[in-house]
Amino acid sequence: MAKPYDPKDFYFRKAKKAGLRARSAFKIEEILQRHRLLARGDAVLDLGAAPGGFLQILAEAVGEKGVAVGVDLEPIRNLGKPWVRTAVVDLLAPDALERIRALHPGRFRFVTSDMAPKTIGIKVTDEARSLELVRMALAVAEQTLAPGGAFVAKVFMGGDFPVLRRELRARFESFHIVRPEATRESSYEVYVLGKGFRGTSTTASASPTPTPTPTPAPVPVPEARVPGVVGPGPTPPTPTTATATVAGGPPSPRPSPPGEAGGEGGPWVSAPAKKVGREAGAKAAPTAMKASGKSSAKATAKRAPGKTPTAKSKATAKKAPAKSKATAKTPSAAARSKATSNPKATAKKATPRRPSATHHARPRAAPPSRRRR
């Protein structure tokens, strides 16, 4: 379980005893000792330097031959060292870089940032604001840091931290996450460290502009042509066959000779024409069959040998079908009596058929007389 917040904890009392302006001085001191980022005579830039805890340790690290520059929105009390230069600078202002270069025109070996947002207690909001401050410091470092230099910034881990980590790895040769011992146990702040700055030119060349690939010339496609038609034309449909109607029978198909509809060298028969032809043939078929039946009946009557049919025979022939129809519809009395007197036949007809072998009927057992003893 984390300890309750104590503004005057061990490192606070230690900083006051050592004459340091903030407990954060122990954090940057630990980072410098562990990674050896500065040497005598180097130039260092501290962003968000007030009240000056980082700047005190950095000034001691570079010595009199070096330069320590600190900027913040609030004024920083003078440290009493001539190689330490401070100024009130808003990093969002358009002239921020010019004012920093006025303090030191050259490049810096080390750029630090201890900037933190004013927390409101909402973790997501505090993390997002902290990431924005780190990106602001990184943008300044890209313009002022010397190739091979180092960058350190405080950030609240969470949210889009993986995105920030990828951005730092793209700009530095090595990336580290540091949590100094002077950090409070209840705080979720860490320090990101990038070593071996690649430089602005190297960063720009890391993603070169892709060379456009030449587009090959289109291959001409041959156009479909219709037989007998000059120039390009539509895709020809399936040729049809003309129909010839025979007297006394349905229409019979025959191949179309050259020059006619559907033949070689002639115009193609359209779909509506095909439909009209099929409908006409369907209507003409029953009429032709009826006419064929009448003509065949007349021809049979003319060819039959014998006497010429009289009016009486014609009347008898006309009445005969009616009588046969009546006879076929009304069963005779003998047939009815036979069906009544033979109930077995009636039952046999009413009994449904047994399922065949294909229905996989269950085999019946053999009668007792046929079983083996």
The response to whether 6 counts as a known ligand-binding position is: no
pLDDT > 90? residue 82: yes
Examine residue 303 and state whether it is found in any structural domain, yes or no.
Answer: no
Examine residue 234 and state whether it is found in any structural domain, yes or no.
Answer: no
pLDDT score for 53: 94
255-280 per-position pLDDT tens digit: 444 444 444 444 444 455 455 456 55
Please give the residue range of the domain that contains residue 198: 25-203
CA distance 295 to 275: 30
Q: Among candidates 20, 28, 19, which has minimal Cα distance to 183?
A: 28
pLDDT score for 156: 93
Task: With H, G, I as helix, E, B as strand and everything else as coil, classify residue 173.
Answer: strand
Arithmetic mean of pLDDT over the chain: 73
Roughly what angle, to the nearest 10 degrees, separates helices 25-35 and 53-62? 40
Q: Give this prediction's pTM.
A: 0.54
Query: What do you get for the CA distance between the two ends of the chain, in Å?
Result: 94
DSSP classification of residue 228: T
Examine residue 245 and state whether it is found in any structural domain, yes or no.
Answer: no
Examine residue 326 and state whether it is found in any structural domain, yes or no.
Answer: no
Examine residue 123 and state whether it is found in any structural domain, yes or no.
Answer: yes
Examine residue 267 and state whether it is found in any structural domain, yes or no.
Answer: no
104-139 per-position pLDDT tens digit: 999 999 999 999 999 898 999 999 999 999 999 999
Examine residue 342 and state whether it is found in any structural domain, yes or no.
Answer: no
Q: Enumerate the β-bridge partners of residue 191.
A: 154, 178
The response to whether 95 counts as a known ligand-binding position is: no
Answer whether 227's CB lies under 8 Å from 211's CB: no
pLDDT score for 356: 52
| Residues classed as catalytic | 154
pLDDT score for 219: 58
pLDDT score for 39: 94
Q: For residue 196, what is the domain's CATH number?
A: 3.40.50.150
Examine residue 307 and state whether it is found in any structural domain, yes or no.
Answer: no
Q: How many CA atoms lie within 13 A of 363 on its CB side?
A: 3
pLDDT score for 321: 46
Q: Which of 154-158, 171-175, 288-292 has the lowest mean pLDDT?
A: 288-292
pLDDT > 90? residue 1: no
pLDDT > 60? residue 208: no
Q: What tokens appear for 36 in the block? A: 């050896």
The response to whether 46 counts as a known ligand-binding position is: no
Q: How many structural domains comprise the chain? A: 1
DSSP classification of residue 150: E
Q: What tokens appear for 35 in the block? A: 């990674």
The type of residue at 345 is: A
327-354 per-position pLDDT tens digit: 444 555 555 555 445 555 444 555 555 5
Task: With H, G, I as helix, E, B as strand and everything else as coil, classify residue 272.
Answer: helix
CA distance 12 to 156: 21
CA distance 53 to 28: 9
Q: Which of 4-13, 21-30, 212-221, 325-334 has the lowest mean pLDDT?
A: 325-334
Using a pLDDT cut of 90, give the percent of the chain over it.
Answer: 45
Could you tell me which residues come within 8 angstroms of residue 185 by beta carbon, excluding any fewer than 6 positions away? 2, 3
